[in-house]
Amino acid sequence: MAPIKPHWAQPSHPDIQEVIINDAEFTTKSISKVTLPPWALFAKLDFPPCTQAAEPTYATVQYGRDKHLNLNSDLLYINHSCEPSLYFDMTAMTVTAGPKGVQTGEELTFFYPSTEWYMAQPFDCLCGKETCRGRISGARDMTSEHLGNAHLNVHIRQLLAEKYATELAIATPAVDTNVHVNGGGKHTNGLSSANGTGIDYAYLGVTDALAGAVAGSLRRGPTSRELSGEMGGDTSVY
Ligand SMILES: [Zn+2]
């Protein structure tokens, strides 16, 4: 992320973080001063220095469905990576080591879609990791395949479940129309009810099924086949 003028006393986290500013390239990154096992506490997100933000910006972190905070510290200078060394736990209001822990000298990174539902400025990730997703946006605009087995905050998981359920509820009547008008061509996945009014039934059923699928994706890894193939059929829009 591009350097921004800090309005806080620097360094804010001298024991755990070294901020490196590259003026020539307008880039900033952070290096870990500590080695921690997976999920160990790295830093707390206290209010203050954190403050509630009125709306999301490039300098905020989302901590609820409609809640965003300004970090107001050097923690702002933590870049995105598809294999992050840190995790922002916005329920516990902590920053922990990532799924593989963090090593002294390693760049401090986190997976931006793990906290952000929407990002005004998506970007191309250059993390170079084997699992790099390429284009990074808020979780709303990423495919279930690209979110993969990333560790996501509760508010992101809930919003994803609602998004998938809504898309399928919209897709279901389209399938029904297609069957009647064109005499088929698209499978219905059994979502249409016998009385022809099955939208509500389908919606409820699909909601539960997808909530389970989303939860499953967090445990098992990519489930794009489940989400867009078996459940959504060829009518889903991702
Ligand atoms: Zn990447």
Residue 113 Cα to ligand 1 middle (Å): 12
Task: Map out the domains of the chain with their CATH numbers.
Answer: 17-142 (2.170.270.10), 154-235 (no CATH)
As a whole number, mean pLDDT of residues 71-84 equals 96
Residue 138 Cα to ligand 1 middle (Å): 14
| Lowest model confidence (mean pLDDT) among 27-41, 50-64, 94-108, 173-187 | 173-187
pLDDT digits (tens, 9 = 90+) for 138-150: 999 999 999 988 9
Residue 145 Cα to ligand 1 middle (Å): 14
Q: According to the model, what pLDDT value does residue 176 have?
A: 52
- Contacts of 209 by beta carbon, 8 Å cutoff, 6+ apart: 231
Q: According to the model, what pLDDT value does residue 14 have?
A: 97
pLDDT digits (tens, 9 = 90+) for 114-130: 999 999 899 999 999 99
Give the model's confidence band at 175: pLDDT under 50 very low, under 70 low, under 90 confident, else very high: low
As a whole number, mean pLDDT of residues 56-60 equals 90
Residue 166 buriedness (CB in 10 A; 0-12 / 13-18 / 19+):
middle
As a whole number, mean pLDDT of residues 20-25 equals 89
Give the model's confidence band at 171: pLDDT under 50 very low, under 70 low, under 90 confident, else very high: confident
Residue 80 Cα to ligand 1 middle (Å): 8
Residue 130 Cα to ligand 1 middle (Å): 8
